[in-house]
Amino acid sequence: MSLISNAPKLRRRACALALPGIPLALLAGALVSPTDSIDNAVQLRVAADHAGRWQGAAVLELLTAALFPLAAAGIVHLVRRRGSALAHVGAVAAGLGTLGMTTIAFRHLYIYGLTATDRTSALHVLDRLDNHAGAIAFPLMIAGPLAWILLAGAAARAGLVSRWVVVGAVAFAFSDSLPIPAAEEIQGLIGLATFGAIAVRLLRLDDGQWESPAETTPTGRSRRRAEARIAVEA
């Protein structure tokens, strides 16, 4: 049976590969982008001087946004009992985070378009956009990192992965805001390790476990906790 005709395997692999795909796209974008400055004047100058790299980074941000729903769906699909509330809230946050990442990408493409106008007018437009639309865009941008903390917590609570994955998700969410060199690159590497661990767990499932998540075997530590609870209840 081909992969395309085997719907469970195709969906499982697509959702699993989307997980490390998110930090990988972010890491590639950080390496491609000619600047990490948030100053409008700097961004305008760099977008004009390095048009190809600027647009390439924006395309990678769009790719990241496209992977959000797939990655979230894989976790939400498997978490049916313990952790389901976290998974549901995380899914909503991931949807909002998709909009946030898309907003960032299109803003960067818009900045490139403004390089064709005079600098003073372009800066005025960007300042006005930030002052009026920033209040809407900021919560959407926060929702993305929050989603992965919640979804990692749901996966850990369901026994799919170890609890260190939650720590990794928290580090992923905050590492790019640290005042250190190569903060975005460090974030990408943390994300690869964290989301890669969840992806490996999904890829190790067979089609039956994917279709019937209640039958999925928990990780070692989670399994021992479950066995201890059963022994106490007996």
- pTM summary value: 0.84
Q: What is the pLDDT, as a whole number, of residue 54? A: 96
Mean pLDDT of the chain: 88
137-188 confidence digits (pLDDT tens): 889 989 999 999 999 999 999 999 999 999 999 999 999 888 888 888 999 9
pLDDT value for 19: 96
> Domain residues of the chain, as ranges?
7-233
pLDDT level of residue 221 (50, 70, 90 thresholds)? low
Q: How far apart are the first and last CA of the chain?
A: 44
| C-alpha to C-alpha distances, 148 to 12, 42, 140, 153, 160, nearest whole angstrom | 18, 31, 14, 8, 15
The residue whose two tokens read 């009992």 is 81
pLDDT digits (tens, 9 = 90+) for 43-90: 999 999 999 999 999 999 999 999 999 999 999 999 988 999 999 999
